[in-house]
Chains A and B, each alone.
Chain A
Amino acid sequence: MFETLSDRLQAAFQRLSAKGRLEETDVDEAMKEVRRALLESDVNFKVVKDFIARVRETAIGQDVMRSLTPAQMVVKIVHDELITLLGEAAPLLRAPKAPTIYMLVGLQGAGKTTMVAKLGLQLKRTGQSPLLVAADIYRPAAIHQLETLGKQLNIPVYSEGTKSSPVTICQNALARAAELRSQTVILDTAGRLHIDETMMDELVQIKAQVNPTEVLLVVDAMTGQDAVRVAETFNTQVGITGVILTKVDGDARGGAALSVRTVTGVPIKLMGTGEKPDALEPFYPDRLASRILGMGDVMTLIERAQEEYDVDQAKAMEKKIRTATFDLEDFLSQLQMVKKLGPLQQIMEMIPGMGQAMRQHDVKVEEDDLKHIEAIIRSMTPKERHRPEIIDSSRRRRIAKGSGVTTQEVNMLLNQFKQMQKMMKQMGGWDGKGKPPRHIRSMMNMFR
């Protein structure tokens, strides 16, 4: 949480007198807290050491910006430095001549197979006709796993069972790709230890035979201090061109990413953010920097809200509000838009500090509330939705029964809706500058 590190720095600074400049003692004090925060985020200890030294130099003697406290100034410097270190997001390379070949490697359990499917889906959607290759002949049912995913997503999978060598499988896959005229080939290799010489050698052989466009190291976001050693070894022995971070939808702070980036110099390209095939996002250094510092993932939230927001829908809605024809039918569609943002729980947890506070106090956002409201509205006739004023007590009873709620809940909804209508009449219409109407904005602001 921005509050936590900032609070801790604040406390550290309060012990010293307030100044307009960051003095050496202030900075040293602050660096202790920053070091701790980074270590708690699993940034490799050696990387932290170098990082602190760098930041310390930058920070000492710095003027504190006018709108910031010294603590916030330090956090800003740290944050900026983290972003610099994490590097620019880099896109996946494409081969000059088809097919482009992506080879995914990594430790056991990192999430390679799921990621292969996700990549496949993304490439399919952008017309790059992928072929997935099941080159893990060791893990029981690994081939079947990829084949199942391929079937679900309607993407071809090349496999030869467990009796062929992975090198052969990959070579033959290229021939198949040529037959199918696939634009991209994605190789799913077996998870392996970086210290397993035989297995690492296998990767070297595959790479030599297949000449991939990218060798992507898949790294679990919750990996600890050992991430450095793993990445270094894979890079030295096989050579990697990109890193994919997985399971970012957890609450691991993800310091491993910084370690890997710093130590190998290889760019982080993508992030896996869930178990479903579409849970794939580009890498945003500023978001990960915030996360490593414990500042939550605010940007993703706002972006998602904006994505789901449809400008045309808003214009139509605005007209309805202006002409006071916004009814329960419209309310229902607005609700569904909110629903599309994703499970409320996940969204709430993206807010800095919210997730932890909710867990501490055992608060759960009730998806059911939204569901109830939806059910109530659905139990109404179209006439009742357009003109809620006709809903008398017998109708309310019927609606309550039909949606499985109490009449009190129906009353509550109708009252709240009446208030909402009043508010909208007062709110006025379009800004004229392309900004969404206030009520939508306030709904989005709910998530900021």
Chain B
Amino acid sequence: MFRFFRRPKPEPSAPGAPPAAGPETAPAAAPDIAQVEQEQKQKVELSLQPTRRGIFSQIGELFAADEITPRLWDDLQDLLVLGDCGVVTTNFVLDELERRVTRERIKRAATAYSVLKGLLVQVLQAPLNTHRPPWATGQIMPRPYVMLIVGVNGVGKTTSIAKLARYFQRLGNEVVLGAADTFRAAAIDQLAIWAERVGAPLVRHPPNADPGAVVFDAMSVALQRGTDILIIDTAGRLHTKTNLMEELKKLRRICEKQLAGAPHDVLLVIDATTGQNGLQQAKIFTQAVDVSGVVLTKLDGTAKGGIAFAIARELGLPIRFIGTGEKLDDLAEFDATLFVEALFT
């Protein structure tokens, strides 16, 4: 999965040639894919533990009894709703499960349990199959690969960007950041601190400058440098604010104008504690700027993250990454099986 995202190491400079330009601090270590994958798995499991101890582990208990009882269905419905899966998705999953149980004459609760897990994985996996990012299909990555990060206020965009930067750096990419949140007090400073920690160049303008100008600048810098990845931070905005959504559309257009095909990824950051409104957020943002994937943050809390199922099922949007803490390393590429597994085992 990570393979195609790896950049070949730069050619050693000829003697006498100037050293290759790059970030001055924290050079990326040579990527060890296997190690990264292993760490990913551990991290996801660890961070999802609070969730596990919560209601989803209760689902496991439900199925411990030998037989399938009517009570089982009611309790299951309650638990899925409690996990923020939403009424529609819950009904869908239960209807499907019931269909399978009847059709396959499943008697034992444990079997039904596996079927349920399989169904949930399927729900999450479907969009991942139909929306495979270029790096997963072996295509040559455009350079710069431009990622626009959007979302409502307070979800964790800026922190996620720092994590994404570190993540891609560890795989051998040069990352440049763009501070296009020129509205929120000290937002630029916040990203600047992260940029320094991560050792990524930051394109910034003074506060209250036109965010479009920052995007334009960031694109120019990234193009000129031949950087691998450009990640652009935008101001948090409620999807109900039409003028702000219009502004976001404009930012997207500016990317497009400078590089055909950009932005290559518009990632919507959603807080795992968000209830059903997360769906509405995803809908409206997608309508406005064609969201290509979701980053689901704050899964280290007790929120069950059930909104992931609803988003995948009802909007067909792939969850790309999950955020599992406030530190730089607290990011994992989304894996449907791992996610469901960690919730139930």
Contacts and interface: CB of A to CB of B under 8 A. Distances in A.
Interface of A: 36, 39-42, 44-46, 107-111, 138-142, 144-149, 152, 193-195, 220, 222-227, 229-230, 247, 249-253, 255-256, 275, 343, 345-346, 349, 355, 359, 364
B326 A225 contact: no
A141 B241 CA distance: 26
19 contacts: A42-B276, A45-B81, A108-B156, A109-B154, A109-B156, A110-B154, A140-B193, A141-B193, A144-B189, A148-B186, A195-B302, A220-B271, A222-B278, A224-B84, A249-B241, A250-B239, A252-B277, A252-B280, A345-B243
A345 B240 CA distance: 9
A109 B186 contact: no
A152 B275 contact: no
Given A145-B190, A148-B186, 10 more contacts: A109-B298, A141-B189, A144-B185, A224-B303, A224-B306, A226-B303, A227-B273, A230-B302, A251-B280, A355-B240
A70 B140 CA distance: 63
B275 A343 contact: no
B274 A222 contact: yes
A358 to B, nearest CB: 9
Interface string B264-304: 00000001011111101000100000000000001011111
Contacts of B87: 36, 39-40
B151 to A, nearest CB: 10
Q: Nearest 7 CB-CB pairs, A to B?
A: A224-B275, A109-B154, A42-B275, A145-B186, A140-B193, A252-B277, A141-B190
B81 A39 contact: yes
A107 B241 CA distance: 24
B84 A226 contact: yes
A152 B186 CA distance: 12
Given A247-B238, A364-B242, A140 B275 contact: no
B154 A220 contact: yes
B146 to A, nearest CB: 24
A256 B186 contact: no
A106 to B, nearest CB: 10
A226 B301 contact: yes
B318 interface: no
Contacts of A139: 190
B190 A222 contact: no
Interface of B: 50, 54, 78, 81-84, 86-87, 152-156, 183-187, 189-190, 192-194, 207, 238-243, 271, 273-278, 280, 284, 298, 300-304, 306-307, 326
A225 B185 contact: no
Contacts of A346: 241
A219 B119 CA distance: 33
A269 B233 CA distance: 33
A140 B239 CA distance: 26
A222 B301 CA distance: 16
A249 B241 CA distance: 9
A301 to B, nearest CB: 15
Nearest to A224: B275
Interface centre among A46, A147, A222, A251 (most CB of B within 10 A): A222
A116 B156 CA distance: 20
Contacts of B278: 222, 224
Nearest to A147: B186
Contacts of A108: 154, 156, 298, 326
Given A107-B273, A251-B280, A252-B277, A226 B240 contact: no
Nearest to B283: A359
A152 B208 CA distance: 13
B153 A275 contact: yes
A343 B156 contact: no
Given A107-B273, A149-B185, A247 B301 contact: no
Contacts of A343: 243
Given A108-B154, A109-B153, A224 B280 contact: no
B176 to A, nearest CB: 19
Nearest to A112: B154
Given A141-B186, A345-B242, A223 B274 contact: yes
A252 B185 contact: no
A144 B186 contact: yes
Nearest to A256: B275
Nearest to A49: B78
